[in-house]
Chain A
Amino acid sequence: MLTIESLKAYGADVEDGLKRCMNFESFYLELVQTAIKDTKIESLETAIDSGNLNQAFEIAHAMKGMYTNLSLTPLSEPIIEITELLRNQTQTDYSALLSEIKAQYQKLTEIDQ
């Protein structure tokens, strides 16, 4: 179940995220819920697979904004990394980073169940 405690255990900087929510815990949890329902990861993967790095950058950039605002550190760290690579249109193998992101996202969704 998604709680402050479980998010802490997950590795989120809950205190930082809560500050931004003016310490409304339920509001914070609701926003994390919204972030979990977001399906951008799939779009990101599709864009990278099809070589549309520009579009991939925009998606990654949006995800970065969302995850950093909620201080979901385990997710935002690889997202920040991939955003920077995509910004420079770096031709590289993105699969490792993508797997990491997917894994962290998976972990987060599991908390929610």
Chain B
Amino acid sequence: MEKTARREQNIHRKILIVDDEAVNRKLLGLIVSQGYEAIYAENGAQALQLIQENQKLISLVLLDLLMPEMNGYELLEIMRADPALKRIPVIVLTSEKTAEVRSLQMGAADFIPKPYDLPEVVLARIHHSIQLAEDNIIIHETETDELTGLYTKGFFYQYARQFDRYCSDKDMDALVLNINRFHLINELNGREYGNYVLCTIADTIREILNQTNGLACRCEADNFFIYIPHQAEYQSIFEKIESKFSEMLKEAPISIRIGIYENVDKMLDIEQRFDRANLACTKPKHSYSNAYSYYDTQMHEREIFSERLISEMDSALREKQFCVVYQPKYEIKGEKPTLKSAEALVRWFHPELGMVSPGKFIPLFEENGLVQKLDRYVWREAAEQVRKWKEQYGISIPVSVNVSRIDIYDPELENELLDIVHSNHLETSELLLEITESAYTDNSEQIVQKVEQLRADGFRIEMDDFGSGYSSLNMLTALPIDALKLDMRFIRNICTSEKALKMVELMIEIAEFLNVPVISEGVETKEQYQLLKEIGCDIIQGYYFSKPVKPEEFSLLIEKEIAQREEQEYAYN
């Protein structure tokens, strides 16, 4: 209703009346002027000229068929053949049955008989034809993606639902096609070539649609959704797309991935079906080769499991199902290793699922940002623990906590950390912050700025997983850090692999150059410990000393440390 009102109020549409009889022109002009502006032509040729001059302004043509110069049929034919004029609806003025049929077949929107109907009827027919034509234009312009001509996402979903309604017994497959590292095409070959690649992929998809009777859309830059009747195999379809793709991008590290959710469950929303296909598509994320994979039961179970973890996180936080454990870090520079600090790690003891591995829930929470809540929980727990030990033993055991990528972008980060530290009467140096190396490479400038600020507040920053990211040596010198934590994958092989050992030596040299201590994680054996001590590692964390333990158990380590310190003092005195 609103739409119609807007139509009526705002726009005064032009209608072209084409008739060689003055009486008819005037009569129609009177009727039309009740809602529109009338312009006139006496024959087809004159009309064509007017239409071409005002093509964007003419909303409808009222067309007599028998006229001198150029008759109505000829004009209709010219208009239907011209894409720009095709959009203008034509109502034919005739009372001959055969002419009605012929002109409707030629694309006329409607006809008005002679003698004319009542003015109200004529106006209603005009109104109806204009509305229909304008709706069509709007739909056509918004339903397809300008670049590729495939549907846009919203219309695609709509048509897919319509397809299901009419073919409810047909088994359907949902496909997601994604180009890995598509941005590289734009960067390496220019945007124009990127568009060319997208259009070629779209053309190939169209060929497949013609054979399979399906539909497709482009949603987001390099993501295509395809909904087609179930196919027994996808090898040939995949090869078709792949060969087109490889032709265009011979050596670039860009690949195509297709995720297939076959025989979709029609009880699911169409959006959910494509979520599943998308899951199958993103599965082997880091592969450089073209591939397709199916959504399978395993994925399904993982998805259900993930959903459960996500939906239960809040209640788990409330019920303290998350438990913070502490793994000691020992300084090994002196004669005897001394307890220097600890790392806070989180464990989830789920009442039904038992111990859920952090490897399962951390990446999941990182993906959807929930990790922020978890991080804050750990920060508070850890700070409280440092305070308790301080009160109990009179010594400070700083604890390092993880600061996730997403935390760094939180404008409240600094205030929150300061608040946690102050409310526990701690120094900022007692809560160590671990930031993973790869976070630095994302947006180094912003991170450097943030980290500088935190350091100015007195926090100390440890770069976690050093060696796993892609820091350039140049960048490293500019980074504000207070310690390097070596990625534990390097430590694992130092006793057996010369190469691994060399790598660690190199990283220790870098740390020396930066004048910061090196922390080795995942140290499990005496051999590893001794080797690391020899090559100049400063601090060690790992099962060799202790696994991550609950605060009560950690207290014992503190007591041991105190006893050792007293012994040493006694020896010196």
Residue ranges of A at the interface with B (Cβ–Cβ < 8 Å): 19-22, 24, 27, 30-31, 34-35, 38, 58, 61-62, 64-66, 68-71
Contact = CB atoms under 8 A, between A and B. Distances in A.
Contact of B116 (A20, A38, A58): A20
B115 interface: yes
Contacts of B27: 20-21, 31, 69
Given A22-B119, A34-B26, 4 more contacts: A19-B119, A24-B30, A69-B27, A69-B114
Contacts of B30: 21-22, 24, 27
* Interface bracket on B: 10 to 19
A31 B21 contact: no
A53 to B, nearest CB: 15
Nearest to B19: A65
A43 B116 CA distance: 25
A68 B114 contact: yes
Interface of A is mostly: helix
Contacts of B115: 20, 65, 68-69, 71
Contacts of A38: 22-23
B114 A62 contact: no
B395 to A, nearest CB: 101
Contacts of B268: none
Q: Which of B21, B34, B118 has the most CB of A within 10 A?
A: B21
B39 interface: no
Contact of A65 (B24, B26, B31, B34): B24
Contacts of B465: none
A58 B65 CA distance: 11
B114 A58 contact: no
11 contacts: A19-B118, A20-B31, A20-B118, A21-B30, A34-B23, A38-B22, A58-B66, A65-B24, A65-B114, A68-B115, A69-B115
Contact of A34 (B22, B64, B116, B119): B22
Contact of A31 (B26, B64, B114): B26
Given A20-B119, A22-B30, A69 B66 contact: no
A58 to B, nearest CB: 6
A112 B26 CA distance: 20
Contact of B24 (A21, A22, A30, A69): A69
B346 to A, nearest CB: 82
B31 A69 contact: no
Nearest to A35: B23
Contacts of A19: 118-119
Contacts of B23: 31, 34-35, 38, 66, 69-70
Nearest to A76: B115
A62 B118 contact: no
Interface in B499-521: none
A62 B119 contact: no
Interface string B30-43: 11001000000000
Contacts of A22: 30-31, 34, 119
Contacts of B437: none
B20 interface: yes
Contacts of A64: 114
A31 to B, nearest CB: 5
A65 B21 contact: yes
A66 B24 CA distance: 6
Nearest to A68: B115
A27 B403 CA distance: 85
Q: Which of A30, A31, A35 has the largest count of B CB atoms less than 10 A from its CB?
A: A31
3 nearest CB pairs, A to B: A68-B115, A69-B115, A66-B23
Interface string B60-96: 0000101000000000000000000000000000000
B38 to A, nearest CB: 14
A28 to B, nearest CB: 9
A95 B169 CA distance: 70
Nearest to B20: A62
Contacts of A61: 66
Contacts of B26: 27, 30-31, 34
A85 to B, nearest CB: 15
Contacts of B34: 22
Contacts of A69: 23-24, 27, 114-116
Contacts of A62: 20-21, 66
A31 B27 CA distance: 8
A70 B20 CA distance: 16
A46 to B, nearest CB: 16
Contacts of A65: 21, 24, 64, 114-115
Interface in B106-130: 114-116, 118-119
Interface in B363-421: none
A21 B30 CA distance: 7
A74 to B, nearest CB: 15
A65 to B, nearest CB: 5
Contacts of B118: 19-20
A34 B34 CA distance: 22
Contacts of A71: 115
Contacts of B20: 62
Contacts of B31: 20, 22
Contacts of A21: 27, 30
Q: Which of B22, B115, B119 has the most CB of A within 10 A?
A: B115
B206 to A, nearest CB: 47
A40 to B, nearest CB: 9
